[in-house]
Amino acid sequence: MHDASTGSDTSTGSTGKTARPSRRAVLAATAGLTAALAVPTTARAAAPGDDRRLRALISRMTLEEKVGQLFVMRVYGHSATAPDQADIDANRSEIGVGTAAELIAKYRVGGIIYFTWAHNTRDPHQIADLSDGIQKASLDQPRGLPVLIATDQEHGAVCRVGKPATLFPGAMAIGAAGSRADAHTLGRISGAELRAIGINQDYSPDADVNVNPANPVIGVRSFGADPDAVAALAAAEVKGYQASRVAATAKHFPGHGDTATDSHTGFPVITHSRDLWEKLDAVPFRAAIAAGIDSIMTAHIQFPALDDSGDPATLSHPILTGILRGELGYDGVVITDSLGMEGVRTKYGDDRVPVLALKAGVDQLLNPPSLDVAWNAVLKAVQDGELTEARLDESILRILRLKARLGLFDDRRAGRTSIEHTVGTEAHLAAADRIAERTTTLLVNEDDTLPFSPRTEPRLLVVGADPASPSGTTGPPTGVLAAALTELGFTATALSTGTAPSAATVAQAVEAAQDADAVVVATYNVTAGNAQRTLVEQLLATGKPLAALAVRNPYDVAQLPSVKACLASYGWTDVEVRAAARVIAGSVPPRGKLPVPVQRADDPTQVLYPIGHGLTY
């Protein structure tokens, strides 16, 4: 099951067990924390006149229309009315309708989420046509309500809209640059491009503080491990998106950064004390709320210090109503993470989950495995008196306020003439490249191994990992890296060896290295027992100068103690890899600084490289 918080690549990045750092080590590594931000003002309030009009609109809605407004649903197809037959069949099988238009007519859903795998995002004009078709289908219904059209455009590892849209480095790379201006620029440009193709809600930024190197689902999707730095960057990105009239979404409340379990497949438990939560996890969400965040996404995690019932946060009244609404003063839209994820389905059935989420304080119910089951369960809960219609009205008012604030009641169509002048323009692409150049981090550079030069190392062998490609890639990172280095004057040859190279593949790489002057190895989440270590060690034994580039988590360096040069790009999209190539070639200096601590592989309680570490030349 794909969901609204990760890409199709949900690999843990770890095949072995990684020891978790102690709480003392975590706090030491994030030294310099300031006091938690003061409780901010609530989400941007609607004018009294607007509220009166929206309440009047709600009063005319049928109960069935109200229930539908609470759901955000997936749908297959590139067109709202004429998708491919395979997509019609998939829709009928999973949703009971053939098209997006039929979905809206039957269930009156208030939102639709786009996925690449659902064939929603082929190219900008197709996406705009789909968005327009969806809005028209909803406009044709009795109340004519606009639709919140959403996607996960986090950039980096999770990106639904690919080229020719502008793709930026992911959150941890932005954390390595540490620039609030860059985060704001990312949000502003990405928001403008999404708005031009009819997407008006983005499930970004990730506001989790990633303090666990073994985190299988957040990792580089987080800005880092320092809550104050994460808060500043998240708030800046929020303001950027919302300046372009796209609703930003801070996720995953109350904080998913210290989990060793993927909530897609299990039920994570956060063991933080309430005090640690205040100092660590809460800080970015407070900042996002102070920045006027439009929506906040819940986490399917158990957090006993905040609610000892054993329920996931998504279904927790103490967490969502007591803390998020009450203590943090947030009155914007609260949306669940995907209701198809195992973390929210472990304790209750699919008919109970949406009802309990609404009782907990949720407004939008995202992507249930069976819309028919979930929709009818909410309807029945109101008819039976478990939920009141007034409770639904509270959520619908928040949803309609958001739609009004985004101008969706006035302007529902994507801007046809603005696509060419907005999506993937030269200026936008240049901005992404400039930002990427500030992210690459040089962790080790013994004996001045880097930069390589076309004069002294003209022939380069580029080997290594070929993880599943997000939308921002044109191929394996080895190929993109070799092509970029060739453009910079080298003769670079790519040899993709994968994330778990066989002995034969390692031998092939060693043989190929004999004809090279230097070697670049792209690594991807190296662990103690991973064959990538063997590959690196045997290539080092050839005596050729070697540089390792960690293309996902920067923790790889701890597993490669013999490497004399190691960099981190925090992602393997084209913009990140091309920036790393420029650093390897010395055409730009490395400027990134670690946004997370790297612990020793043999003693995870000890910090090998602290936050802020980064060499240059």
| 592 neighbors 441 (Cβ within 8 angstroms) | yes
Contacts of 376 (CB under 8 A, 6+ apart): 351
Residue 215 to residues 18, 19, 117, 222, Cα–Cα distance (Å): 10, 11, 25, 11
E strand map for 107-231: 111-113, 148-151, 153-155, 158-159, 201-202
SS3 track for 57-114:
HHHCCCHHHHHHHCEEEECCCCCCCCCCHHHHHHHHHHCCCCCHHHHHHHHCCCEEEC
Reading the block at residue 199, the tokens are 């997407």
* Rounded CA separation 593/236 (Å): 19
What the block records as the tokens of 334 is 């609260």
Q: Please give the radius of gyration of the chain, using alpha carbons only, rounded to the nearest integer.
A: 24
Vertex 80: Cα angle to 78 and 84 (nearest 5): 45
Residue 133 is inside which H or E element, if any?
helix 124-139
- How far is Cα 266 from Cα 216, in angstroms, rounded to an integer? 11
| DSSP letter assigned to residue 606 | S
Tokens representing residue 42 in the block: 């609530």
Give one word for 259, left, alpha or beta, with left for phi > 0 and alpha for psi -120 to 50. Answer: beta
Where in the sequence numbering do the catalytic residues fall? Answer: 264, 337
Q: What tokens were used for 361?
A: 């304080």
Q: DSSP of 216-229, one letter per residue?
A: SSSGGGSS-S-HHH
SS3 of 489-554: CCEEEEEECCCCCCHHHHHHHHHHHCCCCEEEEEECCCCCCCHHHHHHHHHHCCCCCEEEEECCCH
Give me 478's structure tokens: 């080895």
Contacts of 425 (CB under 8 A, 6+ apart): 166
List of residues 6+ apart from 85 with CB closer than 8 A: none
Give the tokens for residue 327.
Answer: 């203590």
